[in-house]
Structure 1
């Protein structure tokens, strides 16, 4: 007889549990030859399946030696046994071990891909053996739609297509009715003419007419090995032995023997790398398991969305500005989007400067009237202010008076620098000092005159206010409470910060040779006055200097508000007409005002899209030649212990949430993946490389993860457009580094899950 295909010499195998050692095989000596159809029988637990697993390289042995084509296997490592299963043996299982969602063709092709076959060769071989086992016409049918007999025939075709020369069948008829089982036995008998078939069975009577040899095991020991009938001598024994797709690769043998053949195959299928095979199976799984793909993707969308929020919130709370109180002493307008800028060369800010600044990303508006941006306005009665009536005692009489009571100090001036003609729904931009544009549902508001009051506690005294009658010239498209004023009005009201000191001199004392009263006034323009005419406030009360001619001392101030040179005296005509401003204002003619004052435009207010971009814009402005300061940071100077505690609590909750979600996500994802663990074990049984299996898991989860992250980001963008507050704040704080953290968190979760599942598959396979 020819050389044994597989030989076992004194092979023993034991299983060790916590309390005992069970010997499954004891000193097994067997030789198996090409062309045999061997039946292994015995009671349950007698060692039949263990013997088959040892022969198939699925279970290692403890003692003795197993020879394959005359070569020992004692030195085999995991990679060698993997190669052995891939190229030397084909499996037929009692439960078929098919991939149910794969088609008949794909089930066979997957086994051939495990051997490294090219796509064309694999499909050609698969079609040959599909026809051979009687499944022609079922190529595109999913395996889970086949009958039991058809499933077993498919399992046989998958094993035969590998052309290994050895077929191992573990109870192949156990789940079949007698008639179908008999047809499978007959098929195996026919197959045994071309290879070695070793079958484990409990129903020896069914297979007795067809097998050539019967081996009986009892408690791990061979009690009989009977030649039932002679096997047909197969003259192509040696040819078949060398027609395998390759010998087992070990550290010291086989490489040289089959080197030429393996090199030829490698050259032929150079493009079919492990990564190519992994991608093929990933695409096949996505195509045939849409429900699974949807389930994983939906779960990861939830994880991605929550992680996006938590990471964004952590990033937002990394700025401790949220723990500070705003005092408004430096800048009355409490806006975290405002930046005050000056040119480093000390020159005025021009229209060209404004155009240049607006080119910086995230800058929305630039107002050259910076100081006026801290002046409050009150234009709608009963919304912004209400009139209070009472009695006022003057030097001459007691009379009724009405004074404004300001309801809210939340509206601040902006000049027409911040709007264009395109912002108007109707009308035109203001041209004269007392003209404004605002939003209204009523277009008839255009042309209407309205009383408007102004106050500025960080420019004037706290109780000072001025009244102007303004005319509406345009209606804004965008619904807003913001009113836009002319640059002339803005500069006039803020001149007290960067102009001159005006003191009205009266009550001359001859003995002193000087004026007793040198009251300081803030000049404002009254278009009805001419020359040196002035009106004073009716609220001046007992300090009123009286009508007639008085001298006004004017002294220029430097940029720090200090006297700059000698003063000038002008003779003024105080009219009997009283204005309705607070007592520290003096109304003067336009020509007199501009005689001593001209707008300097040394400082501008820049408004950005969101506070999160403050540092970025400050750096850009500094590089462009400007001194820049965030008015919000300048005003938020005092810390709040309560706010700091809240910030730390939120940081702790977000951090804990990310950790808990990572652990829970890992456990849930792995549990979901274990539902398909049998498929991966089947792949391992048919010899698929561990590297390919690992890549399949990594690539699949990576695809789900990328889709989930993209969906989460799109959802965040949509919610931001919809104006959802906390999402808007979070997205503004997302920078390149934050996005990297978001991506790494989700990718790491999937990578750790895939790694854990790969280890789980490995343990299950060895079990």
Structure 2
């Protein structure tokens, strides 16, 4: 039984309270065909909405089989509607984007009707209401009478104990109206049918009871035919839940049924992804100079430790061997100046063909080939390995292979053969940046150039002769094969026209050295050049003993541990080494570290603000989609969808569109980024390796979740009746 005891209902709008129902008392049961009549605005539809649980009441109590409902939550009312109520609305409340068949099937799907019988059951019901020829027509293409018959078919499909109908024949011709009334009368033999009508004569022949409402009160309750009302059947809670496959099928149906809205939703997520990608790429680019990395060291992979002794003495061979045998050390590189050099003083020219104009000029960072392991140790001294960023095509790798590469350093040139070409990303665990090009040279060449380049970048030269001195700086120093052991060439000018003896003091990157009785020979050559004999050059570098070395750990974690261990090594209470970890400066030990923290914090705040901007801009746009689909979800709630089902619909709709937008971005990264040039707006694609693509996927998923949560809260903000009523206004 459904029992109303002193039920009152009030509406509040624009700070005005109006009466819907006043002290209504009523008891209804199975086998009744109840006709509720009254003038427009009398409260008959409100009474129907309260009975069916799609609208609330403020006073009194409503009982369902003697159970109070005043404590019901929204979920309880949804369960009540799902188990007991089938609706036939005056305003149809069909899913307008669905076909006739899909509207009827939706009620069967949500009620858990057997899948193998579902389609035939829907067709049978549609046939009963005379719409078999319209099963593939969308609701928007139907006449008012046809829509009403679809609503009745959907109500029949639900097979609930209570059928509530608001003006079910209002839009039908007399013949169709009579057919529908007779159909409802047949249903009333086993169910409770409640019909709101303005024309009692249409139902007079079949109604068992007439209730007249006036100004929110029942003024007449007349039993026309004597029946024995019964309690509603005790129905177990329907624990049927649509599985993922069924839910996905329904969601895809919703998306395909409303292509314009789905396209707009896709555009929103695509906008969010590209906005985020741009912001994140900008963030990475800006943060690269503020991550604690010390760019004074040039080459800064996370595995490199730079070491020199606090007493200024060189490293011995045995000390270097001890480091090489350390369990956390992979490689030791002496004479590491080339790793510090910004490679602005030299250039590589690659001869692509015999045509003198067919040359490639590249800035390549030089590294020792020992960093790549033992497999290259047997290479010829003039063979090199070239790496290229992954935005080069595969064809480019073969084009460079076997070509002659010339290292141009000031006035000198050194020729090499490119013996292998690979992508930088293939050795990303060795290098410091995947978008940089590198050239790996033989270790003997590495030592030679390390000494030579280090000398030239940090050499101060003082020549003392006969009581006078010449100070030279920023001079290029090279080797000359035609000099005797203790000779050097200097630029010929009018003050230096003949040979003389002098003491030469060299202050270099690695050591300070004074060599006496050097024969200085003026020569016509570059003004800012000095040329040394091999013997003088070797004396400067203490017979290949390095004053600074770079240690490469097995991985970044061991590099950090090694840094800590070496920093703590002491001898007689004094630190043994000056230790530098270029990839991670200790931010807590200096003002620069504090600035680093502040700047990093500022970047995170900026990134957070960008995220909020994306969210609010997207929500303002998506709000229109939400508003347009509110009615659909309210209708789903009337035909058996609970909050969990609606939540699944909303989350999956958002996620599918977000995933589609993400896949488009992924395809751009895979197929477009190799062709993007520096300066192009699409250059941001090059920042998205596997790790950053994973971050982007997490962002898209999170973004879809928070938008869906906001969406869901709006769907459940109002009652079903309020949502449907607002749509009609």
Shorter-chain TM-score tier: 0.5 to 0.7
CA deviation digits over 1:91-149, x for unaligned, max 9? 11122222233344443343345445554575565455344434457656544455544
2:159 counterpart of 1:163:
yes
2:25 counterpart of 1:59:
no
Q: Quick check: 2:669–2:688 contact (8 Å CA) kept in 1? A: yes
Q: Provide the secondary structure at the position in 2 that maps to 1:585.
A: strand
Separation in 1 of the partners of 2:669 and 2:40? 60
Map of 1:484-563 to 2, 5 A cutoff? 487=446, 490-491=449-450, 493-494=452-453, 496=455, 524-529=478-483, 531-532=484-485, 534-539=487-492, 542=495, 546=499, 561-562=511-512
Tell me what 2:647 maps to: 694
Q: Tell me how far 1:293 sits from its aligned partner.
A: 2.8
CA separation of 1:489/1:468 partners in 2, compared to 1, >3 Å: closer, same or farther? farther
Q: Provide the secondary structure at the position in 1 that maps to 2:160.
A: coil
Q: Look at both structures and tell me which one has the larger radius of gyration over its CA atoms.
A: 1
1:746 to 683, 703, 707: 703
2:68 counterpart of 1:99:
no
TM-score, length-scaled by structure 1:
0.65
CA separation of 1:210/1:733 partners in 2, compared to 1, >3 Å: closer, same or farther? closer
Q: Quick check: 1:413–1:490 contact (8 Å CA) kept in 2? A: no
Q: Tell me how far 1:171 sits from its aligned partner.
A: 0.9
Single out whichever of 137-146 and 281-290 deviates more from structure 2: 137-146
Q: Quick check: 2:242–2:645 contact (8 Å CA) kept in 1? A: no
2:337 counterpart of 1:371:
yes
Separation in 2 of the partners of 1:577 and 1:34? 121
Q: Tell me how far 1:196 sits from its aligned partner.
A: 2.9
Tell me what 1:152 maps to: 148
Q: Quick check: 2:307–2:551 contact (8 Å CA) kept in 1? A: no
Q: Provide the secondary structure at the position in 1 that maps to 2:11.
A: strand
Separation in 2 of the partners of 1:451 and 1:222? 101
Q: For structure 1, which runs of at least 5 residues remain unmatched after alignment? A: 248-261, 361-365, 381-409, 421-427, 455-466, 508-514, 608-613
Tell me what 1:727 maps to: 684
1:756 to 709, 713, 718: 713
Q: Quick check: 2:348–2:363 contact (8 Å CA) kept in 1? A: no
Separation in 1 of the partners of 2:42 and 2:477? 112
Single out whichever of 617-626 and 208-217 deviates more from structure 2: 617-626
CA deviation digits over 1:679-705, x for unaligned, max 9? 111122234322322332233223333
Q: RMSD value over aligned CA atoms?
A: 6.1
CA separation of 1:729/1:659 partners in 2, compared to 1, >3 Å: closer, same or farther? same
Map of 1:701-720 to 2, 5 A cutoff? 701-712=654-665, 715=668, 720=673
Tell me what 2:170 maps to: 174
2:530 counterpart of 1:585:
yes
Q: Quick check: 2:100–2:139 contact (8 Å CA) kept in 1? A: yes
CA separation of 1:615/1:137 partners in 2, compared to 1, >3 Å: closer, same or farther? same
Q: Quick check: 2:86–2:163 contact (8 Å CA) kept in 1? A: yes
CA deviation digits over 1:620-647, x for unaligned, max 9? 985999965539989xx999xxx99999
Separation in 2 of the partners of 1:219 and 1:553? 119
Tell me what 2:197 maps to: 201
Q: Tell me how far 1:55 sits from its aligned partner.
A: 2.2
Q: Quick check: 2:306–2:582 contact (8 Å CA) kept in 1? A: no
Q: Provide the secondary structure at the position in 1 that maps to 2:495.
A: helix
Map of 1:31-70 to 2, 5 A cutoff? 31-69=27-65
Q: Provide the secondary structure at the position in 2 that maps to 1:13.
A: strand
CA separation of 1:273/1:645 partners in 2, compared to 1, >3 Å: closer, same or farther? closer
Q: Tell me how far 1:200 sits from its aligned partner.
A: 1.2
Q: Quick check: 1:532–1:589 contact (8 Å CA) kept in 2? A: yes
1:664 to 606, 609, 617: 617
Tell me what 2:376 maps to: none
CA deviation digits over 1:360-395, x for unaligned, max 9? 9xxxxx987533564824899xxxxxxxxxxxxxxx
CA separation of 1:581/1:587 partners in 2, compared to 1, >3 Å: closer, same or farther? farther
2:265 counterpart of 1:296:
yes
Map of 1:226-625 to 2, 5 A cutoff? 226-227=222-223, 230=225, 244=233, 246-247=234-235, 262=236, 272=241, 278-279=247-248, 281-314=250-283, 316-318=285-287, 321=290, 342=306, 346=315, 370-371=336-337, 374=341, 376-377=345-346, 414=366, 417=369, 431=382, 454=410, 467-468=411-412, 487=446, 490-491=449-450, 493-494=452-453, 496=455, 524-529=478-483, 531-532=484-485, 534-539=487-492, 542=495, 546=499, 561-562=511-512, 578=523, 580=525, 582=527, 585-588=530-533, 598-600=543-545, 619=560, 622=563
Q: Provide the secondary structure at the position in 2 that maps to 1:536.
A: strand
Tell me what 1:630 maps to: 582
Separation in 1 of the partners of 2:45 and 2:97? 28
CA deviation digits over 1:16-41, x for unaligned, max 9? 45665433333444444544433322
Separation in 2 of the partners of 1:623 and 1:595? 33
Separation in 2 of the partners of 1:499 and 1:72? 91
Q: Provide the secondary structure at the position in 2 that maps to 1:630.
A: coil
Separation in 1 of the partners of 2:407 and 2:14? 93
CA separation of 1:412/1:185 partners in 2, compared to 1, >3 Å: closer, same or farther? closer
Q: Quick check: 1:369–1:491 contact (8 Å CA) kept in 2? A: yes
Single out whichever of 278-287 and 732-741 deviates more from structure 2: 732-741
Q: Quick check: 2:348–2:364 contact (8 Å CA) kept in 1? A: no
Q: For structure 2, which runs of at least 5 residues remain unmatched after alignment? A: 310-314, 350-361, 373-378, 387-395, 423-435, 568-578
CA separation of 1:647/1:543 partners in 2, compared to 1, >3 Å: closer, same or farther? farther
Q: Quick check: 1:10–1:29 contact (8 Å CA) kept in 2? A: yes
TM-score, length-scaled by structure 2:
0.68
CA deviation digits over 1:491-524, x for unaligned, max 9? 56347489999998865xxxxxxx8889999985
Q: Quick check: 2:335–2:546 contact (8 Å CA) kept in 1? A: yes
2:36 counterpart of 1:86:
no
